[in-house]
Amino acid sequence: MSDAWIVGGSLRDELLGRPVRDVDVAVAGDPAQAARALAADVRGPVFQLSEAFGAWRVIDRRADRVYDFAPLQGDTIEADLAQRDFTINAMARPVDLEALSAEPSAADLVDPLGGRADLESGTLRVLGPDAYQQDPLRTLRLARFVAELGFAADPETERLTSAAAPRATEAAGERVFGELRRLVIADGALAALELADRLGVLGAVLPELTALHGVEQSDYHHLDVYDHTLEVLAQQIEIEGRLDELFGPDADRLRAVLAEPLADELTRGQALRFGALVHDIGKPVTRDVRADGRITFMGHDAVGEQMVGELSRRLRTSERFARFLGALTRQHLVLGFLVHERPLDRAQVYRYLRRTSPVEVEVTLLSCADRLATQGRRGEEATAVHLELARELMTAALDWREQGPPRVPVRGDELADELGIEPGPELGRLLGELEEAAYVGEAATREQAIAVARRLLA
């Protein structure tokens, strides 16, 4: 059997005691032979990943693990490791292909570049400028490792990363999004974004976000738009642990919604973190100063929705994810305006839910993070009333999510016959108003619905 080594992130995570589901195996010889042998042993599927690079994959369903086999990149394992990205990923340990799950041993470690020492000190050290030359996306991966591992880059790595940052856009959009996705949902997302911004990587891959720097706001805000956006993300992350405090008996229902898969390997709650990052990206192009000196951003919600669509196309996200982010951006102001109309009647609640659907739950939560991050003039008072209204609307939003919009108790064709009108826009308008009447309780039966429709038509 060919010589083989466990390499890369799988070995790094083994040594850190982190869970390992994806195992990378470098093979001196034929990866196909090694992969087929393991597949026969674990009785799992085996298939070729890349004809160009000779990589193969085996899925071990019993152990819930995926094994990727690839040929050595070079004549020796040391030559292979020298072509990797960071020292902590440039280690290997020889492995018996019949015992891939064996515990790692420091004595067996192949570590020509000091990865073990950097692992123990929490240091991210790039393997020279050639590492970024081979793959410019590694500059963003540095920030992702900060987010996931809590490590810090050494000064020379920061210098090399800053120099290579503009080339990050050479990577395919879906690869950029893959790194951003893992960064944003990690525990250290805020520290990673700070590093990526400081080194110029964020400006390369998300220029819409760094364009928020220095955009001053009204005295209702204490931060410029960029710092406010990062504070919204910080509050969103904190809210994830405060659901019981903020939403009481609705917390469990809300947790269940946020845990639902949405798209692009993200749950609704994880995707909401992206919503926090992009909700104000329309502000720079809509900023205006009125004659009285007040700063406004009229229409930044609509402009932001368009920009989110363009950003999502560039990153090649799914259409479902793009629509989700666009809806959050477009509707993030609605609850704040309703604060001035309290107490809301049931018709106003219906209009809020109809307008913000299908993100009625998530945008209610996002508005709380947005409000908590806004601590300018009368900040504490405004936050208290906003959170109070959000609690009320969250109950209605969760009910709406579970039950759907109210059912009008009469069919459209029946209503047209009763009223003597033709199908068309007028009938559609009446049905829409009857849905609101049903939610309010004024059209619970067929007879009530027809009577309301006659009144509306008159």
1 pLDDT exceeds 50?
no
pTM of the model: 0.90
Minimum mean pLDDT range among 10-14, 15-19, 416-420 = 416-420
Contact of 257 with 398, CB cutoff 8 Å: yes
Q: Which residues pair with 59 in a beta bridge?
A: 66
pLDDT of residue 37: 87
417 pLDDT exceeds 90?
no
The model's pLDDT over 283-339, given as tens digits with 9 standing for 90+, comes to 999 999 999 889 889 999 999 999 999 999 999 999 999 999 999 999 999 999 999
The model's pLDDT over 231-271, given as tens digits with 9 standing for 90+, comes to 999 999 999 999 999 999 999 999 999 999 999 999 999 99
346 pLDDT exceeds 90?
yes
**Which amino acid would we find at residue 336?**
G
The model's pLDDT over 82-134, given as tens digits with 9 standing for 90+, comes to 999 999 999 999 988 666 654 545 558 999 999 999 999 999 999 999 999 99
- Between 217 and 69, the higher pLDDT residue: 69
- Between 133 and 29, the higher pLDDT residue: 133
Which of 7-21, 211-225, 309-323, 442-456 is predicted most confidently? 309-323
pLDDT of residue 235: 97
Mean pLDDT value across the chain: 92
Q: How far apart are CA 23 and CA 375, in angstroms?
A: 47
Q: What percent of the chain has a predicted confidence (pLDDT) above 70? A: 96
Please enumerate in sequence order all residues whose Cβ is within 8 A of that of 221, keeping only pairs 6 or more positions apart, or say none: 228, 374, 376
The model's pLDDT over 380-398, given as tens digits with 9 standing for 90+, comes to 888 999 999 999 999 999 9
Q: Which residues pair with 5 in a beta bridge?
A: 26, 94
pLDDT of residue 236: 97
Which of 19-28, 222-231, 233-242 is predicted most confidently? 233-242
Q: How far apart are CA 138 and CA 88, in angstroms?
A: 14
pLDDT band (50, 70, 90) for residue 30: confident
pLDDT of residue 33: 87
